[in-house]
Every structure is written in C-alpha cells, then in structure tokens.
Amino acid sequence: MDIKTTDKTYVVGTYNRYGVAIVSGSGSRCVDDSGKEYIDLGSGIGVNSLGYCDSGWIGAVTAQLNALQHASNLYYTQPCAALAKTLCQRSGYLKAMFGNSGAEANEAAIKTARKYSFDKYGRGRDVIVTLRNSFHGRTMATLTATGQDVFHNYFFPFNDGFKYADKNIDEIAAIDGVCAVMVEFVQGEGGVIPTDKEFIAQLKQLCDERDILLIADEVQTGIGRTGKLLASEHYGILPDITTLAKGLGAGLPIGAMLVGEKCADTLTFGTHGTTFGGNPVVCAGALEVLGRLDDAALKEVERKGKYIVSKLQGCSGVDGVDGLGMMLGIRLKNKAASDVLKDCIQEGVLVLTAKDKIRLLPPLTISDKDLQEGIDRLISAIAK
C-alpha cells in the first residue's frame, strides 16, 4: 500500500488531505513522494516558522535530545525554565505555563480566568465572551469558545459559560457575569480578518474597568507572524493573558500561556498540569526560534509581508489582500479558493485557505528568491 492508501485505511477520517505526501524539506521547499518540489507558503499552518529542517533549530533540538528527552514536571529542567524566562523578558509578561497545543494553551487561559474570578468574587462570575467567527481550538471547552455555529454540532452538550458577541463594545458590555473576553487580533481560521484598533482599545478599557481578564489568543498571530513578536504590540496593549502555539516550536508541539500582573499567581499547586508540557527538547527548539527572531528578523517579516501585498495587488483575479505581516488572506475575484489551492499544487506552491480566501503563512525566514518564485507560481494559479 502506498502512503495515501495506508493513511486512508488506518487514520481516522477527520482530515480532507490534499493529494500530496510530503517526505522531506529544506528551507521553504519540500518534496513529495514522487520527487516533485514545492515552495511552501503555508509552513504547516504557520508552524514551521524557520522553514523545513533549519540547521540551527536541528542543532538545538538534537543537542537537547542527546542530553535529556523528558523529565516530567516533577523535576526542574533548564530549557523549560529558560524558555519561560525568555518569553517573559521579551513580552513583558511575568510567568509562562506550557502545554502541547493551541487548544491546551487556551484551556489554561480559560481555567486561569475562571479561578481568578472565583478567588476574588466567588461563584457565578464565570462567563467567557468570545467573538463571532473566532477559532480557539477543538477540545470541548475551546470548541465551545469557538464562535462559529458550524463547530457547535454533534458533540452535545457543549460547555456552559460561553457567550458570543460581535466586535461591538455595547454588546459585550451588556453581558452579565463575565470573567474574561478572548480575542484574536487577526482572526485566522475565520478568514484572515484583522480586528480594528478602536474596538480593541475600547475592549481593553471595558475589561480594566470591570476587572474582566482580556485573553489574547495569539496561537496563530504570535511569535513574529505579524512582524512583531506579539500582535498585541500593533495595538499598544498587553492583555492579561496571551496564548501561543503554532510557530513557537518551529515544528515540535508546544503551547504556552503567558500571564501578567493580575493573574500570574492564580493557578497554584495542583490546579493545573500536564505530562508533556514544557518538554525539554521542544523548549530547546522554541528557544532557538526566539533567539532568531531579533528586531532585524521581525523587520524582515514586515518587509516581506509588504512585498507580498504589493506583488499581489492589481493581479488578475485578485480583489485585495488582508492581514498583518506575513499572515495574509487573498480575496479572489472569480475563482473559488479551493480551486486556486489545487492549481497551486500543480504549479508547485503550497498555500492554505481560510473561508473564501487564500491564506499565506510563509516561513518567517523565507528567502527573497523563494518568496518571489512562490508568489509568481501563486499568481499563475490564480490566473489559470
């Protein structure tokens, strides 16, 4: 049996995979099982932030593998402590907690918000408000938090204590019993839709006035994706909690919750935990990512994002480009995103979709040459 048939036979069918089996990669390029090469402008949904098989990252990860692969959270390990310190020093947060995915980071944030409110106000102030069209994960709580009706199916009963609002401050202000509001600065899965600055400023003020925790889900927008370490920097605020995942591990599974002054000590011994979270190998890889994302590298992300937008604007079949940095959504004029994606695969470029847009999340380190060639192939696919 070939890879595809074996997968289709034995892996639970929750994924509608594209017809490509990737076997290896280097930089921004990967190769499938027939030997065909692709330029990857999706980077494994923003995970391969340093591209495929980056040598610095492999060096960091393998050095740690050769020293210690796991110790459990019963013990201290250097990479976990160092990663927490670096994340805090770079972001302005006070403490970090690690898990293995975006959904887990959001679960930790939800638990922190509920306990923060319980500790201070007792029971009954437990509502988490999320925005319509948001995406926060696939566990029961984060699926409930996801503000899209299509996800609220089959798995009844969904969790209590979640309410949805538009990006409308009056609608949010009218909801009772709220302990936290969770937002994405750019809705990713929802269609690459940036949230406007005035709404975020109003929301921050409302949250501060009412002692409601503001949770930023930066699972997709974080770690340089938008040209800043955190997208919140574009908005000039430090939310009470930020969650991270995708690009942080550069390919190894990690989620992180960063907590500020209000809730740095909310989760206490025994109230939360994970077996794998903070794994030393994964943390060593994430430290390499942060080490590489200095100010110059972040400026490069911004520059390359602008380059993509300028190249695509006015192209045949392109209606416009939305997003921030290298998190971009292309509005199409007369072709379905799924058809463009198929033609991209033929042209030798991998892209993503988000709702009716083509979504680009290129490796942050993509070379100008690969980026130019990748976008050229994409433009051909759109025009096809």
Q: Does 130 bind ligand PLP (CB under 6 A)?
A: no
Q: Does 87 bind ligand PLP (CB under 6 A)?
A: no
Q: Does 107 bind ligand PLP (CB under 6 A)?
A: no
* 180-207 burial code (b ≥16 CB/10 A, e <16): bbbbbbbbbbbbbbbbeeebbebbbebb
Q: Which of 117, 220, 266, 279 binds ligand PLP (CB under 6 A)?
A: 220
Measured from the CB atom, is 253 or 374 closer to ligand PLP?
253
Q: Are 230 and 256 in contact (CB under 8 A)?
A: no
Report d(CA 28, CA 366) in Å as an integer.
6
Q: Which of 60, 83, 96, 103 binds ligand PLP (CB under 6 A)?
A: 103
Q: Does 50 bind ligand PLP (CB under 6 A)?
A: no
Span of 135-143, 162-170, 175-183, 222-230 interacting with ligand PLP by CB under 6 A: 135-143
Measured from the CB atom, is 29 or 228 closer to ligand PLP?
228
CB of 138 vs ligand PLP, minimal distance in Å? 6
Q: How many residues bind ligand PLP (CB under 6 A)?
A: 15
Q: Does 362 bind ligand PLP (CB under 6 A)?
A: no
Q: Which of 32, 54, 107, 184 binds ligand PLP (CB under 6 A)?
A: 184
CB of 190 vs ligand PLP, minimal distance in Å? 9
Contacting positions for ligand PLP (CB under 6 A): 101-103, 106, 135-137, 184, 188-189, 217, 219-220, 245-246
